[in-house]
Amino acid sequence: MNAIQSLSNQSFDSVYGPVKSWRYGKSLGIDPIGMVSTCSFNCVYCQLGNIQKHTHQRQIFVPTDHILCDLQAITNWEDIDVVTLSGSGEPTLALNLAEILACVKTITQRPIIVLTNSTLLGDYKVRSALKLADIVAVKLDAISAKQLQRVNQPVATIDLPEILTGIEEFRQEYQGHLAVQTMVLSLWKPDILQDYIQFIQRLLPDEIQLNTPSRPRVLVRQLDARGNHIEASSNDAYQQLRCVSSEDLCVLAQQIYNVTKIPVRCPSRN
């Protein structure tokens, strides 16, 4: 971490919310990444805007003591259903992920969730850390190399076989609740649907979560976007996203369920 980023993180509020989640209820967010958005993906739909630091290198961004202090200041636990690690980028990039999860467990009895883009699951240290979470939601937006590049725009060293293998390795080791999160931007062709279903049948997750963007993407970084709060102004640059209708999303969810018999959730079905 450079000196400017380190200095900015000193006054950084690492705990935010609770945020209303269609998947998990009222979620208290923990951001282990900090002021500079940092991720191994630069997804075309990312609510954080264009990722400021595009990397797959792990490091400590926000010290565990900082997060612990912010978490101890929370008093409204009765309004919180779950605690979720996500925030300003890919949480598994945080080298102190296991330490953070262990500290959270000492403070709250709420289920702990980690939302991950799956790119670092090939690292056994990452998989080991994630075992401390009650729920892990792994991203799987793409089932072809072309789709991965178009939707997720990973760093150059990451490819689809590595991601799929990492997800499968984690599934074999993880005893908690595993969800697959998939963002659907356009109608899938039959071959894409078939390949997706075949992978799901091998993986056997506990549930599948389908979603589609509900608003234009803000291109300029806004910290509040990590909690789904975006302040629009006339100076903001937006990107209009292609997305499917809620009806088409429901049809896709039903098609996947009919074959896999694995619960499929999406906002319009909740």
Query: For the chain, give me the number of helices (H) and strands (E)?
Result: 8, 12
Q: Please, what is the angle between helix 190-203 and helix 246-260, to 10°? A: 50
Per-residue CA distances from 9 to 70, 178, 190, 207, 208 (Å):
13, 31, 46, 35, 34
Distance CA 48, CA 72 (A): 26
**pLDDT value for 81:** 96
Going by C-alpha positions, the residue among 135, 239, 137, 233 that lies closest to residue 185 is 239
Per-residue CA distances from 156 to 42, 86, 99, 119, 183 (Å):
11, 23, 29, 12, 21
**pLDDT value for 49:** 86
Query: Quick check: helix, strand or coil at residue 126?
Result: helix
pLDDT band at 7, cuts 50/70/90? very low
Percent of the chain with pLDDT over 70: 86
pLDDT band at 9, cuts 50/70/90? low
Chain-wide mean pLDDT for the chain?
Answer: 89
Cα dihedral: 98, 100, 102, 106 (round 10): 180
The angle formed by the CA atoms of residues 198, 208 and 223, to the nearest 5 degrees, is 125
Give the residue with greater pLDDT, 59 vs 7.
59
Total domains present in the chain: 1
Query: Quick check: helix, strand or coil at residue 31?
Result: coil
Instruction: Average the pLDDT over 66-91 and give the result.
Output: 94
Lowest mean pLDDT among 12-26, 53-67, 223-237: 223-237
Instruction: Average the pLDDT over 23-37 and give the result.
Output: 94
β 25-30/15-21 pair status: antiparallel
The pLDDT tens digits for 111-157 are 999 999 999 999 999 999 999 999 999 999 999 999 999 999 999 99
Q: Which range of residues forms the domain containing residue 64?
A: 3-269
Query: Quick check: helix, strand or coil at residue 210?
Result: strand
**pLDDT value for 4:** 42
The pLDDT tens digits for 163-179 are 999 999 999 999 999 99
pLDDT band at 233, cuts 50/70/90? very low
Give the CATH number, domain containing residue 85: 3.20.20.70
Distance CA 47, CA 43 (A): 9
Distance in angstroms between the alpha carbons of the first and the last residue of the chain: 41
